[in-house]
Amino acid sequence: MTRTRATEAAGAAAMAAMRHAYAPYSRFRVGAALQAADGTVVSGCNVENAAFPSGTCAERGALSAAIARGLRDFDLLVVATEAADPTPPCGMCRQALAEFAPALVVVSVTTGGKEASWVLSDLLPHPFTPASLAHS
C-alpha cells in the first residue's frame, strides 16, 4: 500500500471515529487511527468524563484498541479534528506512542481540509523508553 493510500484509509477511519467522540465538556472532538505494519487500521476517539481527569485522548484510545488486537508495529497515525488548524498529539500521547513506534509518522487533518505531518521523534525527541528503566 502506498503512503497516500494508507493515509487515505487511516484518514477516513480517524474522521469516522471523530464523529463518535464523547466530548460534551470541551466540545473538542478528536479521532485517531493507527495504521499497523500489516495494513490494519484501528481507530479511537476522545472519551471525556464528568470527573475531568478520567477522560481519555483519541490517540491512546486507538493505541489501546490496537494493542488489544495483537498489533504492536505501527507505521502511521492520523489524527482528525474540527479545529481551524491541524493539532499534534498531546504530550502524554506522544510518550505512550513512543513506547511502540518512536519513528511513527503522525498526520493531522481537519474537517476544513488542512493537513500537517510530523515524525514522532521530532515531536518528542527524548522519550522515556524501556531502556531508560535499565539506568536505575
Task: Check residue 126 and report its DSSP letter.
Answer: S
Q: Does 90 bind ligand THU (CB under 6 A)?
A: yes
Q: Does 30 bind ligand THU (CB under 6 A)?
A: yes
Greatest Cα pair distance in the chain? 47
The catalytic residue among 59, 82, 99, 115 is 59
Binding segment toward ligand THU, per CB under 6 A, in 4-12, 33-41, 57-65, 109-117: 57-65
Name the strands in the sheet holding 30-36, side by side, starting at the edge strand that comes first in the sequence.
41-45, 30-36, 74-81, 105-110, 115-119
Q: Catalytic: 115?
A: no
Q: Does 75 bind ligand THU (CB under 6 A)?
A: no
- CA–chain centroid gap for 21, Å, is 13
Q: Does 55 bind ligand THU (CB under 6 A)?
A: yes
Beta strands 105-110 and 74-81, pairing class = parallel
Contact residues toward ligand THU (CB under 6 A) are 23, 26, 28, 30, 46, 48, 55, 57-59, 89-90, 93
